[in-house]
Amino acid sequence: MTRRNHDIAELKRLDVAHHLPAQSSYKLQRDIGGSRIIVHAEGSTIFDGDGNAILDGMAGLWCVDVGYGRAELAEVAREQMLELPFYNTFFRTATPPPIELAAKLAGLLGGDLQHIFFNSSGSESNDTVFRLVRTYWGIKGEPERKVFISRRNAYHGSTVAGASLGGMSYMHVQGDLPIPGVEHVMQPYVFGDGFDEDPADFCARAVQDIEDRILAVGPEKVAAFIGEPVQGAGGVIIPPDGYWKGVEAVCRKYGILLVSDEVICGFGRLGEWFGFQHFGITPDIVSMAKGLSSGYMPISATAVSSDIVETLRSVDDDFVHGYTYSGHPVAAAVALRNIEIIEREKLVDRVRDDIGPYFAKALAKLSDHPLVGEARSLGFIGAIEIVARKGTNRRFGGKEGLAGPIVRDACIGRGLMVRAVRDSLVMCPPYVMTHEEIDRMVSIIAAALDETSETLRALDMPVLEGAGEGL
Ligand SMILES: *Cc1c(COP(=O)(O)O)cnc(C)c1O
């Protein structure tokens, strides 16, 4: 394949002049003279227009699970575009790829999750969840069941419903969110919120917080609980043992629907096809996106239980919800082939038995670093916690989020793309990453920590000279 030559300086100029990138400071975009332009990628490596090769510790944005450069995904898209680029699913019509993909997903999900609604993004999937769940309870004759329970620091997308269901307070301040009917409870963040606590006690407290909120709202008003098996964008928060079983039991006790947002965890990230399978629970609804197509096409899916489908089928009314691109044939064809790749190359097994354990061992070396408070992972997703004092969860400068971006930028400068969530450095690499690349990722992080340690210590100086500890 011949690659195009790009005029990077001109692209950066146009970026500032005309383009508003997602989730970005437009002041910073302008001040740095435009975004970093990524022009090419192969395997687990991205290449920018300035000639840097960067190891992609984030699989794009938690999504390029099968890695970059998969020609067969391009070919299947081309074939489908030539055969039928688009037709909708609104008017008692469908096309072959979404039907085949739905059947495939039903097989992977198993049990009662046998029906799939398609959308184009994770946010849209959760908007579907929002309207579907309330519609379901309306048909059931319990229209007062409207409230969703979610967790602080949850990420469920950026649409109005997605950001409302999400627990990011910095997102809520923009646009007067959350919309009414969303309650946020404790997150199962052991390192952040249960540091000195016995993990079992902390787990019980996190589950109890859900039950307490249900009782405060009134169980007859609660529609659903939504959660990510492992919170991704919130900082790779891996719940303590027993948490999900506890959540499931509380939902069942009060007849509340359980929604598993598998947008990151689905398709092998935790070493099983889905995160709920890893944790041994049975959700009523599952949201999927990202890894569904490994990011090669925008597509998401909302799987629902037979009880929900039967309820919707008990009335004549349309479910008046859906998008022009629900079940887009090209996106569905690419997703189907992506799943075939994951199966053919046994990538779920590779995560569970090979790179997952290898990654955990490599990260464990980092936990000896004086600036690392914890290194944690599950399957092929992980994080390290940057702390001001070993053995504590105290942050540099006495404030969350000062150190993370400094270390992140040092990593990028050394050729590793990672994200900082507050003071957690998070990793979610492609499943095709090699052992050598995992070693490189970890040694770049160690070097970045060494390189920035003086800068980080300087953040602490005023605190130590002034009020001392306790900030
Ligand atoms: C990324 C993400 C979303 C939102 O998906 P978009 O495709 O960005 O709309 C929803 N839920 C989770 C768990 C995610 O990680």
Per-residue pLDDT of the chain (471 residues; tens, 9 = 90+): 678 899 999 999 999 999 999 999 999 999 999 999 999 999 999 999 999 999 999 999 999 999 999 999 999 999 999 999 999 999 899 999 999 999 999 999 999 999 999 999 999 999 999 999 999 999 999 999 999 999 999 999 999 999 999 999 999 999 999 999 999 999 999 999 999 999 999 999 999 999 999 999 999 999 999 999 999 999 999 999 999 999 999 999 999 999 999 999 999 999 999 999 999 999 999 999 999 999 999 999 999 999 999 999 999 999 999 999 999 999 999 999 999 999 999 999 999 999 999 999 999 999 999 999 999 999 999 999 999 999 999 999 999 999 999 999 999 999 999 999 999 999 999 999 999 999 999 999 999 999 999 999 999 886 545 444 444
Cα–Cα distance list, 140 to 144, 181, 214, 234, 375 (Å): 11, 19, 20, 34, 46
What is the 3-class SS of the chain, one letter each residue?
CCCCCCCHHHHHHHHHHHCCCCCCCHHHHHHCCCCCCEEEEEECEEEECCCCEEEECCHHHHCCCCCECCHHHHHHHHHHHHHCCCCCCCCCCCCHHHHHHHHHHHHHHCCCEEEEEEECCHHHHHHHHHHHHHHHHHHCCCCCCCEEEEECCCCCCCCHHHHHHCCCHHHHCCCCCCCCCEEEECCCCHHHHCCCCCHHHHHHHHHHHHHHHHHHHCHHHEEEEEECCCECCCCCECCCCCHHHHHHHHHHHCCCEEEEECCCCCCCCCCCCCHHHHHCCCCCEEEECHHHCCCCCCCEEEEEEHHHHHHHCCCCCCCCCCCCCCCCHHHHHHHHHHHHHHHHCCHHHHHHHHHHHHHHHHHHHHCCCCCEEEEEEECCEEEEEECCCCCCCCCHHHCCCCHHHHHHHHHHHCCEECEEECCEEEECCCCCCCHHHHHHHHHHHHHHHHHHHHHHHHHHHHHHHCCCCCC
Instruction: Assess whether 122 and 208 both reside in one domain.
Output: yes
Alpha carbons 55 and 58: distance in angstroms, whole number: 9
Pocket mutation for ligand 1, best pick of 23, 123, 293 (most atoms within 8 Å of C-beta): 123
Q: What is the total count of domains within the chain?
A: 2
Closest CA to 56 of 435, 468, 428: 428
Alpha carbons 350 and 267: distance in angstroms, whole number: 12
Pocket mutation for ligand 1, best pick of 65, 127, 130, 155 (most atoms within 8 Å of C-beta): 155
Pull the structure tokens for residue 316.
């004549």
Last residue of a domain, which of 297, 320, 344?
Answer: 344
Last residue of a domain, which of 285, 309, 344?
Answer: 344
Domain assignment present for residue 432? The answer is yes
Q: Whose CA is nearest to atom 5 of ligand 1?
A: 122
Instruction: Assess whether 158 and 56 both reside in one domain.
Output: no
Instruction: Assess whether 123 and 252 both reside in one domain.
Output: yes
Residues with CB under 6 A from ligand 1: 62, 121-123, 126, 155-157, 228, 232-233, 261, 263-264, 289-290
pLDDT score at 240: 97
Instruction: Assess whether 180 and 133 both reside in one domain.
Output: yes
Domain assignment present for residue 7? The answer is no
Torsion sign, CA atoms 155, 158, 162, 164: positive
What CATH number corresponds to the domain at position 329? 3.40.640.10
Instruction: Assess whether 81 and 54 both reside in one domain.
Output: no
CA atoms within 13 A on the CB side of 235: 25
pLDDT score at 2: 73
Query: What's the whole-model pTM score?
Result: 0.96
Pocket mutation for ligand 1, best pick of 287, 290, 293, 419 (most atoms within 8 Å of C-beta): 290
Alpha carbons 335 and 347: distance in angstroms, whole number: 15
Q: Which atom of ligand 1 is nearest to the CA of 298?
A: 7
Helix, strand or coil, per DSSP, at residue 335: helix
Instruction: Assess whether 250 and 192 both reside in one domain.
Output: yes
Domain assignment present for residue 274? The answer is yes
Instruction: Assess whether 51 and 76 both reside in one domain.
Output: no
DSSP per-residue string spanning 412-424: HHTTEE-EEETTE
Instruction: Assess whether 54 and 79 both reside in one domain.
Output: no
Q: Which atom of ligand 1 is nearest to the CA of 120?
A: 7
Last residue of a domain, which of 344, 369, 399?
Answer: 344
Instruction: Assess whether 48 and 89 both reside in one domain.
Output: no
Domain assignment present for residue 393? The answer is yes
- Any idea which residue has 């925008």 for tokens? 298
Range of the domain at 42: 36-66+346-464
Domain assignment present for residue 51? The answer is yes
Instruction: Assess whether 372 and 297 both reside in one domain.
Output: no
Instruction: Assess whether 242 and 264 both reside in one domain.
Output: yes
Domain assignment present for residue 266? The answer is yes
What CATH number corresponds to the domain at position 386? 3.90.1150.10
Domain assignment present for residue 200? The answer is yes
Alpha carbons 303 and 392: distance in angstroms, whole number: 41
Instruction: Assess whether 311 and 352 both reside in one domain.
Output: no
pLDDT score at 468: 47
CA atoms within 13 A on the CB side of 445: 34
Domain assignment present for residue 438? The answer is yes
